[in-house]
Structure 1
């Protein structure tokens, strides 16, 4: 770009769906893989957001982030971006999952609302990239190509004959340079994957796309007009939260549910080569990994001289090539090889590392049995903080609760339980019936059954307290919200 030219406008988009069932018990439906810190001190989602914001330069103006996610994960998105110091442009909240093609179509429609036609830089939320400089260079090359009207994908240069990924075949062996795509191919068998590796010109499909908003909408209208029309209808009926700080946009739920579910690849990319749309691939050699299962997590973690990757309180004797993630207690290993051990406060997984993909069967069984371990951890995150259910029996439950500074729980009441609150750190402002009062450390109060009450942290440090519930029914659905800062009244 010559001096004085206007920088290219880039709209970063993170597709933040999925549940990461193969990383149970750390990943749960209510707290999925992308929000976990599996490698490094940030979650996979936070790492994805930082990689996109790093695209900014004199040549590229990067707009505030668009995130397409589910309704139940909106506060996790908000909080993790706040922790990372990254501005959220908007969270587009899908009432139900409809795969990536409708998700990207939503993002394109939202991007055009500004009156511009930005270049969408679209990535999944749950991948690891080791070489950020190489990733940034490849993405910026893709942006320059997309400005000319191409639909560009990043193809990961394969390091082994992998049967778990789809592949992209370039028209020629591009030798590290941008190339026209000949075809997209499905996950191959081992012999075919070996042939791809030997032939060259084949890349793993990482699900990373760069395309102008208008070009994507034209392509989806060309190849899947049913998706284009239904998504536009859902977008036209959208609603936005009245709280401007939350930036939540909800497409019309009934119209969205009628959208055919389809992936970006099936809906558009596989039809693109040879059409009026130029489909290009930029090779990516940046230490990419989709950490789709525990064996992949083992691959990206530092390991000792025996091949062990251990996190948390672990003592191992005569053990090799193991992965251990200890969350809340000591884990000991003696004389084992190629094992995965993942310990959480409410569940423990022990698996052969070569069978990591089969963890999803455990998750399916938990879902069929409607067990809580399928949905949530014992420690549950809420928009105001979190709670940890540390003990319970038939007629009582004990929780440890943390409330963020200046955050408030809803004004609520319970039909079946009373509550005792003991402040252990910070200051609590309590509303109980007609009274409002302050409690400090080592002070307590009692909330009678059926009484309207609220808990607020007026201080600048987190508020911690112990809650003891007693009553005939202690389920989380025994909450009548009368007012709420997070749009949950009546839920």
Structure 2
């Protein structure tokens, strides 16, 4: 009998500890930190590789939010894939409600598949070992168990929750005795010395109906609230939106607190939790130090990502996005350069980068939310210069993509085509512009930019006026539903 698996990719995180590369509207799961695939794309490819040996893998179910929906579609499209459904949470309610939404979606057609729930922002170095371990977990879940993947600790980490197991170390699948909170350094060292403790990877496997039954047993308030939000969902192609008000009323709780920790504490409930060890070079890349740990280092322990030069420097990571970065006479440092922000941090303090993001939010600054290059469903724009009453943008429009029909109250715009073909609507007039041609959009005029061609369209836009904010847009038509 073929085992049916639905991959569930949890893609709603913000990745604040990898700032300034990770921003709220372009978080770490969509970044390419090494190789040529983003972490999200790596997660998708690993899960699709589970197929074989009597296992059939469906298209992924992705749980995310409105702001990232087109990033998800674009990155899957680059891999020649599309989601079975993209569940868009109107507000974040942590992982227990998110997985419940995925379970309802998985059972929508009267089926009850095995769900493999995976965060979108992790990496592994041994994908064959990953596939073998998750297949083992799926077979255990077929018998009704909830199965979590545990990571063999190699150091006394205080940033992870731990799983205490029972049974022989030679057992492929082991019973979970307890889940343990993130320990202090002394306790983490003791766990490492005693053995039988594993890091909680956040990867777990179970039947969709089994998760809903466990949630109903331990947290009926969450189960009922999610069911209410699901019952009034709206579907637009692959986008599935639960009821906004109903989902806002769902209690926020993690999978661990809502269900997993309670299972071994109350064995009479009949929900067994098992663990399969995952020895596959796993990392959750939770901070820049973790990126240094998994990266290829030179003889002095340095990691160069982008254009970097080291002299008399050790154990340092430099990530350069747009210019040369040099490091001289430093040790154990992280330097991350982007066009609009630079981070310099002690590697051992890289967990505290999230406090910088909090400070940016408190000050009302945009650097915690947006990159200088801002991605849109039709392409992207890069704000390359600005001053009093003017702003210059470089704009890329994907082939066959169209911006909204819009107007501005406070600015006029000049467009110069750099490459490709532009279809310009200005008032009642529609014209085609080629390379080196330009046009003028007067203040208050209805207009639209489209790319009718088969190659990307690039233009330079010069804005002038009394107010140049992105909120000075009145949209009349928009194919992306904004």
- Alignment TM class, shorter chain as reference: over 0.9
Structure 1 residue 163, shift from structure 2 partner: 1.0
3-state SS of the aligned residue for 2:107?
Answer: helix
Aligned: 1:98 with 2:93: yes
Q: 8 Å contact 2:158–2:182 — kept in the other structure? A: yes
Q: Please name the residue that 1:111 is paired with.
A: 106
Q: Please name the residue that 1:307 is paired with.
A: 301
Distance in 2 between residues matched to 1:115 and 1:58, nearest whole Å: 24
What are the residue-to-residue correspondences of 1:48-87 with 2, within 5 Å?
48-87=43-82
What are the residue-to-residue correspondences of 1:244-255 with 2, within 5 Å?
244=237, 247-255=238-246
What are the residue-to-residue correspondences of 1:220-369 with 2, within 5 Å?
220-241=215-236, 244=237, 247-273=238-264, 274=267, 275-369=269-363
3-state SS of the aligned residue for 2:108?
Answer: helix
Q: 8 Å contact 2:7–2:116 — kept in the other structure? A: yes
Distance in 1 between residues matched to 2:171 and 2:469, nearest whole Å: 57
Q: TM-score, normalised by structure 1?
A: 0.96
Residues 31-66 of structure 1: CA deviation (Å, up to 9, x unaligned)? 111111112211111101111111111411111110
Aligned: 1:440 with 2:440: no
Structure 1 residue 122, shift from structure 2 partner: 0.3
Aligned: 1:429 with 2:423: yes
Residues 343-398 of structure 1: CA deviation (Å, up to 9, x unaligned)? 00000001111110111111111000110101100000000100000000120000
Structure 1 residue 190, shift from structure 2 partner: 1.6
Q: Please name the residue that 1:391 is paired with.
A: 385
Distance in 2 between residues matched to 1:418 and 1:174, nearest whole Å: 70
Distance in 2 between residues matched to 1:344 and 1:205, nearest whole Å: 32
Aligned: 1:370 with 2:364: yes
Q: Please name the residue that 1:47 is paired with.
A: 42
Q: 8 Å contact 2:233–2:241 — kept in the other structure? A: yes
Q: Please name the residue that 1:204 is paired with.
A: 199
Residues 198-225 of structure 1: CA deviation (Å, up to 9, x unaligned)? 2221110010010000000000000000
Unaligned 5+ runs, structure 1: none
Distance in 2 between residues matched to 1:372 and 1:176, nearest whole Å: 51
Q: 8 Å contact 2:76–2:82 — kept in the other structure? A: yes
Structure 1 residue 461, shift from structure 2 partner: 0.6
What are the residue-to-residue correspondences of 1:95-244 with 2, within 5 Å?
95-175=90-170, 177-241=172-236, 244=237
Aligned: 1:468 with 2:462: yes
Distance in 2 between residues matched to 1:128 and 1:58, nearest whole Å: 24
Distance in 2 between residues matched to 1:456 and 1:138, nearest whole Å: 48
Q: Please name the residue that 1:38 is paired with.
A: 33
Structure 1 residue 326, shift from structure 2 partner: 0.6
Distance in 1 between residues matched to 2:333 and 2:158, nearest whole Å: 22
Aligned: 1:406 with 2:400: yes
Distance in 1 between residues matched to 2:168 and 2:252, nearest whole Å: 34
Distance in 1 between residues matched to 2:321 and 2:403, nearest whole Å: 27
The equivalent position to 1:22 in structure 2, one of 17, 21, 46, is 17
Distance in 2 between residues matched to 1:130 and 1:37, nearest whole Å: 15
Distance in 1 between residues matched to 2:386 and 2:304, nearest whole Å: 31
Structure 1 residue 157, shift from structure 2 partner: 1.1
Distance in 1 between residues matched to 2:320 and 2:411, nearest whole Å: 34
Structure 1 residue 114, shift from structure 2 partner: 1.4
Structure 1 residue 176, shift from structure 2 partner: 5.3
List 4+ stretches of structure 1 deviating above 6 A: none
Residues 382-435 of structure 1: CA deviation (Å, up to 9, x unaligned)? 001000000001200000000001111111111111110000000011111101
Q: 8 Å contact 1:46–1:80 — kept in the other structure? A: yes
Give RMSD over aligned pairs: 0.9
Distance in 2 between residues matched to 1:385 and 1:266, nearest whole Å: 40
Count of residue pairs the alignment pairs up = 479
Distance in 2 between residues matched to 1:130 and 1:157, nearest whole Å: 15
Distance in 2 between residues matched to 1:298 and 1:453, nearest whole Å: 47
Q: 8 Å contact 2:73–2:82 — kept in the other structure? A: no
Q: 8 Å contact 2:408–2:444 — kept in the other structure? A: yes
Q: TM-score, normalised by structure 2?
A: 0.98
Distance in 2 between residues matched to 1:206 and 1:372, nearest whole Å: 32
Distance in 1 between residues matched to 2:346 and 2:156, nearest whole Å: 21
Q: 8 Å contact 1:428–1:439 — kept in the other structure? A: yes
Q: 8 Å contact 1:173–1:200 — kept in the other structure? A: no
